[in-house]
Amino acid sequence: MKMKLEGINMQRCILSKKNSITLISAILIALAFFGRFSLDNMAIFNWSLIIASILGVAPIAIQAYQALKVKVVSIDVLVTIAVIGAVLIQNYEESAIVTFLFLFGSYLEQRTLNKTRSAIKELTELAPESALKQMENGEFEEVDVDDVDEGDILLVKTGAKVPVDGTVLTGEGHINEASITGESLPVSKKVDSEVFAGSILENGTIQIRADRVGEDTTFGRIIELVEEAQDSKSEAERFIDRFSKYYTPAVLVLGFIVWFFSKDIELAITILVLGCPGALVIGVPVSNVAGIGNGARNGVLLKGSEVINDFSRVDTIVFDKTGTLTVGNPEVAEKEFYGKNTEEVLGYLASVERESDHPLAKAVLQDIGEITFSTVEETEVVKGGGIVAKIGVHRIAVGNVALMEKKNVKLSEKAKKDVERFEKNGNSLVLTAVDGELNVLMGIRDQIRPGVKKDLQKLKKLGVKNLVVLSGDNQGTVDLVARELGLTEAHGHMLPEGKSAYIEKMQAEGGIIAFVGDGVNDSPSLALADIGIAMGSGTDVAIETSDVVLMNSDFSRLPHALGLTKSTSRNMKQNITIAVGVVLVLLASLLFGEWMNMSIGMLVHEASILVVILNGMRLLRYRLRE
DSSP string covering 547-594, please? SEEEGGG-TTHHHHHHHHHHHHHHHHHHHHHHHHHHHHHHHHHHHH-S
Is residue 7 very low, low, confident or very high in pLDDT (cuts 50, 70, 90)? Answer: low
Q: For residues 332-371, b (16+ Cβ closer than 10 Å) or e, as one string?
A: bbebbebeeeeeebbbbbbbbbeebeeebbbbbbebbeee
Is residue 466 very low, low, confident or very high in pLDDT (cuts 50, 70, 90)? Answer: very high
Identify the pLDDT of residue 415. 92
Identify the pLDDT of residue 185. 60
Identify the pLDDT of residue 244. 64
Is residue 440 very low, low, confident or very high in pLDDT (cuts 50, 70, 90)? Answer: very high
Average pLDDT, the chain: 82
Question: How confident is the model over 53-66, as a mean pLDDT?
Answer: 88
Identify the pLDDT of residue 103. 83
Q: Give the closest residue to 572 by CA, choosing from 262, 273, 259, 237.
A: 237
DSSP letter, residue 321: I
Predicted confidence (pLDDT) at residue 320 exceeds the cutoff of 70:
yes
Predicted confidence (pLDDT) at residue 581 exceeds the cutoff of 60:
yes
Instruction: Output Rg (C-alpha) for the chain, integer angstroms.
Output: 34
Q: How far apart are CA 615 and CA 609, in angstroms?
A: 10
Q: How far apart are CA 302 and CA 220, in angstroms?
A: 16
Predicted confidence (pLDDT) at residue 401 exceeds the cutoff of 90:
no
Identify the pLDDT of residue 182. 47
Q: How far apart are CA 442 and CA 433, in angstroms?
A: 12
Q: How many residues does the chain have?
A: 626
> pLDDT tens across 159-190, in order?
888 889 899 999 988 888 765 654 546 788 88
Predicted confidence (pLDDT) at residue 134 exceeds the cutoff of 80:
yes
Question: How confident is the model over 447-472, as a mean pLDDT?
Answer: 90
Q: Give the closest residue to 514 by CA, choosing from 475, 461, 459.
A: 459
Identify the pLDDT of residue 587. 82
Identify the pLDDT of residue 242. 66
Predicted confidence (pLDDT) at residue 115 exceeds the cutoff of 60:
no
Query: 230-244, 288-302, 340-354, 378-392 — which is least confidently predicted?
Result: 230-244
Predicted confidence (pLDDT) at residue 62 exceeds the cutoff of 70:
yes
Query: 318-332, 399-413, 496-510 — which is least confidently predicted?
Result: 318-332
Predicted confidence (pLDDT) at residue 137 exceeds the cutoff of 60:
yes
Helix axes 75-88, 235-262, angle to 10 degrees: 20
Give the CA angle between residues 238, 241, 244 to the nearest 5°. 150
> pLDDT tens across 270-297, in order?
787 777 766 777 777 788 888 888 888 8
Considering the chain, what percentage of its residues have pLDDT values greater than 90?
A: 19
Identify the pLDDT of residue 515. 92
Predicted confidence (pLDDT) at residue 331 exceeds the cutoff of 90:
no
Query: 132-136, 214-218, 396-400, 570-574 — which is least confidently predicted?
Result: 214-218
Question: How confident is the model over 590-616, as a mean pLDDT?
Answer: 80
Is residue 114 very low, low, confident or very high in pLDDT (cuts 50, 70, 90)? Answer: low
Identify the pLDDT of residue 593. 75
Predicted confidence (pLDDT) at residue 124 exceeds the cutoff of 80:
no
Amino acid at 463: G
Contacts of 480 (CB under 8 A, 6+ apart): 425, 426
> pLDDT tens across 202-240, in order?
888 899 999 988 877 766 766 665 555 455 555 655 666
Predicted confidence (pLDDT) at residue 308 exceeds the cutoff of 70:
yes
Catalytic member of 320, 418, 446, 530: 320
Q: What is the pTM of this model?
A: 0.66
Predicted confidence (pLDDT) at residue 617 exceeds the cutoff of 90:
no
Query: 373-377, 520-524, 547-551 — which is least confidently predicted?
Result: 520-524
Give Cα 41 to chain centroid, integer Å. Answer: 60
Question: How confident is the model over 20-48, as a mean pLDDT?
Answer: 89
Q: 114: burial class by Cβ within 10 Å (0-12, 13-18, 19+)?
A: exposed
Greater model confidence, 428 or 351? 351
> pLDDT tens across 74-84, in order?
778 777 887 88
By DSSP bridging, strand 513-517 and strand 531-535 are parallel
Bin 613: left if φ > 0, else alpha if -120 < ψ < 50, else beta. alpha
Query: For the residues of 336-358, what is the DSSP string, one character each?
Result: EE-SS-HHHHHHHHHHHHTT---
Question: How confident is the model over 89-111, as a mean pLDDT?
Answer: 78
Identify the pLDDT of residue 538. 42
Known catalytic membership, residue 320: yes
Predicted confidence (pLDDT) at residue 462 exceeds the cutoff of 90:
yes
Tell me how far apart the terminal alpha carbons of the chain are, to the nearest angstrom: 65
